[in-house]
Structure 1
Amino acid sequence: MTIFDYLKKNCEVAIYTDEYGNTYMETKEWEYEKIISGAIEISNKADDAIVWLIPEVVYEKHSEIEIAIAGDESVDPVRNVRRPYYRMRGVPVTAEQAFDIIRRTDRFLNFYVSAVRSHEDYIGCMNFENCLIQKNHYPTGYGWIRADGTIGANATTQKYPTVREFIEEWYKLLYAFPYLNLIIAVTGWNEGPWGDETVSEEEFCKEVAVGIYVHDRKIEILNPPNTIAKYKEYNKRYGTPPEKFEREYYEKHKYERYKTEQANPAYLRKCIEAYGLDADKILKRG
């Protein structure tokens, strides 16, 4: 199904087409402006609804992405898990593509650079964080993307996520970065093996509850057996060296900056300037 089919079926969103072929989206939630990037607000009825016009070219581009959900869509395998532990592995991207992902998702820019936070290009993150820029974040260098293009992490989501959040978050990311190709094995394991990232793959796989497979303009929510199979395949291909995916890898090596620092002050300036902003003025306001 397309994102429009999904929204109509699973969310309080009305999507309809008029006699002239124009498509409209009506919702009470502002968040759908980010999900349907390119929609134009044409009416705000306050408590009643917000109406968005979706131009034909935008509608067609969004319709290129497929969403597939295995099993019963009403079942949410992680709804009652506080912070599900996950492992992600993906096909590496170029350093230039990694920079684009970082500058459009890193939490530092959301928290500390209001001009970026309010920019239409900024996407941010919900359950799958990138915190490469903020030096006092623990652990240092935390995120699913690396500046060198490596994709993957052993990490945790935010509190009590839902499969709906997974779909909507990765939909926005795939629409913005169509080259993404990755698998996320999400467990029912709250927080996971803190302090013991060396647990065996067999032990980890026993805890897998659901998978998110993002590839080829498609988002698939997988059952545990298919998730485990795909994760093992991607881990074998792209999961080396395994210690690089540990949550505290960069924290352990933070004093070896010539080896591991990913986002220095010059990198931050580059992120800000990529929005057409004056980094000197913004950082001076600090």
Structure 2
Amino acid sequence: MTDSLASLTTEQRNERTKELDRMTTAEILTVMNEEDQKVAEAVRQVLPQITKAVDRISEALKRGGRLFYVGAGTSGRLGVLDASECPPTFQVDYDMVQAVMAGGGEAFFKAKENSEDDERQGEEDLQQKKVSPMDVVVGITASGRTPYPIGALKVARRVGAFTVSLSCNEASEISAFADCPIEVIVGPEVLTGSTRLKSASAHKMVLNMLSTVSMVKLGKVYENLMVDVHASNHKLRERAKSILMESTKTKYEEAESALEQADMQVKPAILMLLKSVSYEEAQTLLAAHEGQLREALETNS
């Protein structure tokens, strides 16, 4: 097992940083910044695989399925971060996008490094979510060999869920258990083996893509505006008004009034202003077009 770990790209020493402890602060920051610039290019190389994953995720969510992120350590925390942002950003139910993390919620704040080694626990934790063929499960592991998410993908495949793996090494072990393997090869880390650096940045980029683009395809976005934002506090209410003003070219007071009539929901408020309909009529239009605001706006009814 030790030899297997040592052979991974993510565990190799970076030739550019072998004198890291001798470098000045500016030199270290410069090389870190230069290495980070390689991450976006590595993600670009796997856009076809990400496209496949997004299409399957959006199809699953449209049918009432769920998206699960499964990981340990940094990978698990990234899954929690992305999942937790979906409800306020896109006003979706909290169970639509979920994170399953080795060690449970406590491990988000305090590392439980040994929890990642339990493949059976990965299976059991996902089974507790009653994963089904309607769902999509994404196993996240920089090394590609972490037992916990591998266990989760195994049980997901057994029940017929679509499986995606996200790793940073070629021919990762977890890829063998994924319908859509995504291997983002970022190269050796600045600090040898510290995959919370480039590997984590790559995974954050990919998770951003998976959730954001899926929500676009679900009609949660109009133009490039988050028209399903959950206006649950002052900042988000002001953002909702700004979105409404931008999309309808109305003044602040008019946008504020329309939002209040629409129960602080941006999409029906836009329809109310642009099509001169009531809140109830706007809701009916949106329902008829499965929440797609552009289609509702372009209809002649």
Q: TM-score, normalised by structure 2?
A: 0.26
Structure with a larger share of its residues in strand: 1
Of structures 1 and 2, the larger Rg is shown by 2
Q: Which structure shows the higher helix fraction?
A: 2
TM-score by length of 1: 0.27
